[in-house]
Amino acid sequence: MDTDSYRRDFPALDRTVYGKPLIYLDNTATSQTPSCVVEAIRHAYYHSKANVHRGVHALSQEMTLLQEEARERVRGFINAADTAEIIFTRGTTEAINLVASSYGRLIPDGSEIIVSVMEHHADIVPWQLIGRGVTLKVIPMDDSGVLDLDAYRRLFSDKTAMVAVTHVSNVLGTVNPVEEITAVAHEHGVPVLIDGAQAVSHCAVDVRAIGCDFYVFSSHKMYGPTGVGVLYGRRELLEKMPPYQGGGEMIGHVTFEHTTFAELPFKFEAGTPDFVDIAAFRRAIDYVSSIGYDNIEAHERALLDYATERMTGEIPGLRIFGTAPGKDAIISFLIGDSHPYDVGMLLDKQGVAVRTGHHCAQPLMQRLGVEGIVRASFALYNTRSEVDAFISALSRAASMLA
């Protein structure tokens, strides 16, 4: 993969931090954005900005077309059967909240939702907000970060109403066997939501091959604009679900006495959508598709293996969290007793951006017996020489903290 030529597509990578070249290893939190996406945003603001689905005039029709073409692109990208199954949201978080609050109204009091121990708070808290005695049952994992599927099978009861599991852990990098998880749930007649926030930037996703009922992800983690996310839902379930928010666009007909609702997907898209960013998101999909996931995965895996080997050999007191086979390009670690924040600060002063803290996964931190962790995560534009610079900076930080 010609990483150097791809790097030129990301102007942000050229900047310096404290006089040092930026080495951006916080891709799990958000990735940088290629010029083609920024250009699509600029073009829409300069030439086509008009509210969608509401105007007979040319600009509105143009913008509507751009938004609906993006929807079709997303459909193809995840191999959904129908564009009506693609709902635009603000991000993964809003997509899960939509399902929890809408589907949540259809489940009986005292229902049980199965989640895993490695969920992001976005896949924990929305289910808790259902209230009405709804509780979480948690799939445990082993020390390498692999989910215990036997334990998972034992969690089902006649109260189980949903399984909600992450495709890829944002802390451990574990790639969960979502096909098998889905098949087991379906044997019990239970629907499945997969949190794909960390999967879509690393691997091709096929929702029909997975068989899941809902799949959610954010544009900003896969080189797209902020403020856009996707909820894929199987039509049959979405049809049954009540609207999540009320307002313009989601209605059929409104009177003071009674309102009917629009067809899918608009029933779940109340108000003005983030149409400029949705249109630009299409460019991000085209961008990653043109590079190809086989190339991206191979490149990131090579960086992961190289960085892991060097860190393990050269950093005294290093502990890596998450060693599942086939894990994604995420390295979470601690050095001796050093506070993750101190490690992160010392790396930052050397131009290296990593993330520190609980990574919105406090129950996982509890399982790992730590308060927080340092996380370095790789994207298609990172290079071997950046890994070298990261290891040198980490060695320096480790010796200062020793």
Which residue ranges make up the site for ligand PLP (CB under 6 A)? 29, 91-93, 120, 122-123, 166, 170, 195, 197-198, 218
Q: Between residues 85 and 328, which has the closer beta carbon with respect to ligand PLP? A: 328
Q: Between residues 279 and 361, which has the closer beta carbon with respect to ligand PLP? A: 361
Could you tell me the smallest distance in angstroms from the CB atom of residue 136 to ligand PLP? 16
- Distance (Å) of CA 211 to CA 182, 207, 243, 251, 350: 7, 6, 24, 30, 45
Q: Between residues 60 and 166, which has the closer beta carbon with respect to ligand PLP? A: 166
Distance of alpha carbon 36 from its chain centroid, rounded?
21
Could you tell me the smallest distance in angstroms from the CB atom of residue 345 to ligand PLP? 21
| Angle, CA of 275, 56 and 38, to the nearest 5° | 25
- CA torsion sign for 267, 268, 269, 270 is positive
Could you tell me the smallest distance in angstroms from the CB atom of residue 119 to ligand PLP? 7
Q: Between residues 196 and 211, which has the closer beta carbon with respect to ligand PLP? A: 196
- What are the tokens at 300? 């990131």
Q: Between residues 92 and 332, which has the closer beta carbon with respect to ligand PLP? A: 92
Beta bridge partners, 192, equal 163
Q: Between residues 1 and 29, which has the closer beta carbon with respect to ligand PLP? A: 29
Helix, strand or coil for residue 285? helix
Residue the block writes with tokens 């790992």: 368
Could you tell me the smallest distance in angstroms from the CB atom of residue 250 to ligand PLP? 21
Within 13 A of 372's CA, how many CA atoms are on the CB side?
15
Positions marked active-site: 360
Q: How many residues does the chain have?
A: 402
Could you tell me the smallest distance in angstroms from the CB atom of residue 277 to ligand PLP? 13
Strand (E) or helix (H) holding 366: helix 362-368
Could you tell me the smallest distance in angstroms from the CB atom of residue 361 to ligand PLP? 8
89-92: long-range contacts at Cβ-Cβ below 8 A with a sequence spacing of 24 or more?
89/216, 89/228, 89/229, 89/230, 89/231, 90/227, 90/228, 90/229, 90/274, 91/218, 91/219, 91/220, 91/227, 91/228, 91/229, 92/122, 92/195, 92/196, 92/197, 92/216, 92/217, 92/218, 92/229
